[in-house]
Amino acid sequence: MSTSTRVETPETAGATERTPLLELRNVGITFKTTTGDVEAVKDTTITVMPGETVAIVGESGSGKSTSALAAMGLLPSNGRVSEGQIFFDGEDITHPSRKRLEALRGREIGMVPQDPMSNLNPVWKIGFQVRETLKANGLPSTDADVAQALKDAGLSDAEQRMNQYPHEFSGGMRQRALIAIGLACDPKLLIADEPTSALDVTVQKQILNHLDRLTDEKGTSVLLITHDLGLAAERADRVVVMQKGRVVESGPAQALLQNPQHPYTQELVRAVPSLTPEDIGAEDEGAAADEIVSIKDLVKEYKIRGSWGRSTQFRAVDQVSFGIRKGHTTAIVGESGSGKSTVAKMLLGLEDITSGTIEVNGRDISTQSGKEWFDFRRRVQPIFQNPYGSLDPMRSVFRTIEEPLRVHKVGDVASRRQKVHDLLDRVALPRQLGDRYPSELSGGQRQRVAIARALALDPEIVVCDEAVSALDVLVQDQVLKLLGQLQEDLGLTYLFITHDLAVVREIAHDVCVMESGRLVEVGSVEDVFENPQQDYTKHLLDAIPGKDLLETA
C-alpha cells in the first residue's frame, strides 16, 4: 500500500532541520500469540517536533495506540519492537533499561489515557493518586502541590476535590484529574490517547482548550491519538493517518482533511457525519405520522443522602413533554447530567416515573401489570452504548441473539436457529461468527450483535442509548447506515440518545435538546440545526470539533 505525503512547504522545511523530540523510525511491532507472531505495526515512521501537536488517526486495530505505547515502553509482555528504532530527544530508547524507563515516564513523557474510570484507582482518593505521581518522580508532594496540579488541570475547589474518590467525579472531572497526573511533572511530551472520546462536546471543548493552554505555557509537545478527524484537524499541527499498522498519509492537519490524497483517508473523511442539510430531516410526508410514544410532564426525582442523615430530592427530569412519530427517529441531545438517558430508562421501564405519563400506542406504561410488562419488552428493545459491556462474555454470539427468543418462548429449536441466522444476515455478519464469543469480535461486530439481539423479538421501538459513541468513524458510519436501512425495511421507530450533534444530523428526523433536566428546544432536525432558538443549542452546535472544516471538507 502506497503512502501519501504532503509537499513540504518552506515553513516545514525549516522545521525538519531541528532534532525531533520523538521519532519512530521504520518501526515494526510484533505480538507473540498462540497461533504465531502477529505484526501489528509495520515500517512506521512518525516524528513529533518540540512544541508541536501531532495527531494519529485511524480505525481500531490500525496501530495508533500501539505505536504510542511502544514509545513509553508500555507494550504488553507478549509485544516487542521487532524492527526500526525509537528516539526521544536524540536518545535511542528502542530497548531501554527498566531504570531508564522509570526516569523517562512522568518527568519526560507524560500520558493521558482514554478511560478515566479504568485508569483511576477507585479505592484511592484523587489527591493521593496525584501525590503518588509527584513522589515517584522526586517532586514536592505537599497538599498545596497536589491542589495546584489539580487547579492547573482546571478543577475548581481543588482543596476539597482532592479528598474525593473517582466515583464522586463526573466524566469531565475524572478526565481533568488524569490530565493533572499526566502534566504534574512538566513532561516534554504528552501522549493523549483518546482523551475526550466519551465526553460531551461542550466538556470536550473545555478540556481541550485547557490542555492547549497548559501545553502552550509549558512548551509541551503533544501526540494525540484519536479517531475524530474534526478534532484532529482543529487541534493538531500535523495529522498522521494509519491503516492496518502502516502510515498511509501525513501532512498539515487542515490541508489533509480538506484535500486527502490516499483512498483510505478519503474514506475516513467521507465517513464523518455531515453537518450540512440532509434529506432525512426534510420529509414532508412524515410530518403527519401518528405518534407511537407520547411523553407528558415527565418528572424523575432521586433522594440524595446528605450530612447528618438528612436527604434532599434531586430532580433529574423536570416536566418533560414530547412525542415520537411512528417509523421515525427522535434524538435527545444534551450534556452529561441533562437527563436524556434517564428519560430513555423510564421509557424502557428501568426507572420508575415520579410523575407524568409515558404512553405507548395510547397505553400508560405505569399502569401495566407484570404480564403486560413482559409483553411490552417484546415491543420495546434497547441498544446500549458499550458493546464491550452489554454482551455476556460467557455466551457465544448465537446464544446471545437466541436468548430473547427462548425467554419469550418463541418457536422451537429449529426455527430459533433459522431466526438467528436470518438476523446475522440482516446485520451483515457471517453466520460462522455465531460460534464465537464477544472477546473474539471487533467493536463494530459486537455492536452489530447487540442490534441483532434487539431485533430478535421484532420490536416496534428501539431505544439507542449512545449506541455509536464508542465506535471509530468508519464503524460508526456502517452502524448508522445499518440502522437507517433497518428502519426503512422494518418500519422501526428509534429513540436515539446521543451527545454527538453530527450523528443527530445524519440519522434523526426530530430532535429534543435537554439541559439540566428540562427540555429547552424541540423541532425537526432541519429547523433546530439551521435556526436554533436557544442559546444552549447554539452553544452545543458551536462546540462541535472542526465544525467549519467538516462543512467544507
CATH number for the domain spanning 59: value is 3.40.50.300
In a domain, residue 395? The reply is yes
Name the domain boundary from 250, 271, 292. 271
User: What total of structural domains would you count in the chain?
Assistant: 3
In a domain, residue 341? The reply is yes
In a domain, residue 147? The reply is no
Quote the distance between the C-alpha of residue 296 and its chain's center: 31
The verdict on 509 and 534 lying in the same domain is: yes
The verdict on 475 and 336 lying in the same domain is: yes
Dump pLDDT digits (tens) for 247-286: 999 999 888 888 899 999 988 888 877 655 454 444 444 4
**8 A C-beta contact, residue 479 and residue 383:** no
In a domain, residue 302? The reply is yes
In a domain, residue 14? The reply is yes
In degrees and rounded to multiples of 5, residue 306 shows phi and psi of -110, -165
Q: Of 490, 430, 488, whose CA–CA distance to 456 is shortest? A: 490
Amino acid type, 96 = P
The verdict on 357 and 475 lying in the same domain is: yes
Q: What is the pLDDT of residue 550?
A: 53
The verdict on 93 and 32 lying in the same domain is: yes
Half-sphere exposure of 185 (CA within 13 A, CB side): 27
Q: What is the pLDDT of residue 276?
A: 55
Give the C-alpha separation, 264 to 248, whole Å.
8
> How many helices (H) does the chain have, and how many strands (E)?
22, 21
In degrees and rounded to multiples of 5, residue 191 shows phi and psi of -100, 115
- Give the predicted TM-score (pTM) of the model: 0.74
The verdict on 316 and 428 lying in the same domain is: no
DSSP string, 182-195: HHTT--SEEEEEST
Q: What is the pLDDT of residue 553?
A: 52
Q: What is the pLDDT of residue 286?
A: 44
Give the C-alpha separation, 252 to 429, whole Å.
37
What angle in degrees, to the nearest 10, is found between the helix axes of 397-407 and 413-426? 120
Name the domain boundary from 400, 432, 459. 459
The verdict on 447 and 471 lying in the same domain is: no
pLDDT tens string, the chain, 553 residues long: the values are 445 544 343 344 444 457 899 999 999 999 987 778 889 999 999 999 998 999 999 887 788 889 999 999 999 888 999 999 999 999 999 998 989 988 899 889 999 887 776 789 999 999 999 999 999 988 999 999 999 999 888 787 888 889 898 888 876 788 888 888 988 888 999 999 888 766 677 777 877 887 788 788 888 899 999 877 778 888 899 999 999 899 999 999 888 888 899 999 988 888 877 655 454 444 444 445 689 999 999 999 988 765 566 777 888 899 999 999 999 999 999 887 788 889 999 999 999 999 999 999 999 999 998 899 999 999 999 988 776 677 888 999 999 999 999 999 999 999 999 999 999 988 888 898 898 888 877 667 888 899 999 999 999 999 998 888 767 778 788 888 888 988 998 899 999 998 778 888 888 999 999 998 999 999 999 899 889 999 888 888 887 766 655 555 5
The verdict on 349 and 466 lying in the same domain is: yes
At 504, is the secondary structure helix, strand, or coil?
A: helix
The verdict on 483 and 417 lying in the same domain is: no
Cα angle: 458, vertex 459, 462; to 5 degrees:
135
Name the domain boundary from 271, 290, 315. 271
The verdict on 394 and 473 lying in the same domain is: no
Buried b vs exposed e over 523-534: b needs ≥16 C-beta within 10 Å? Answer: bbbbbbbeebee
In a domain, residue 117? The reply is no
The verdict on 447 and 473 lying in the same domain is: no
In a domain, residue 210? The reply is no
372 Cβ contact list (under 8 Å, min separation 6): none
The verdict on 519 and 410 lying in the same domain is: no
Domain boundaries, position 395 = 389-459
In a domain, residue 152? The reply is no
**8 A C-beta contact, residue 249 and residue 256:** yes
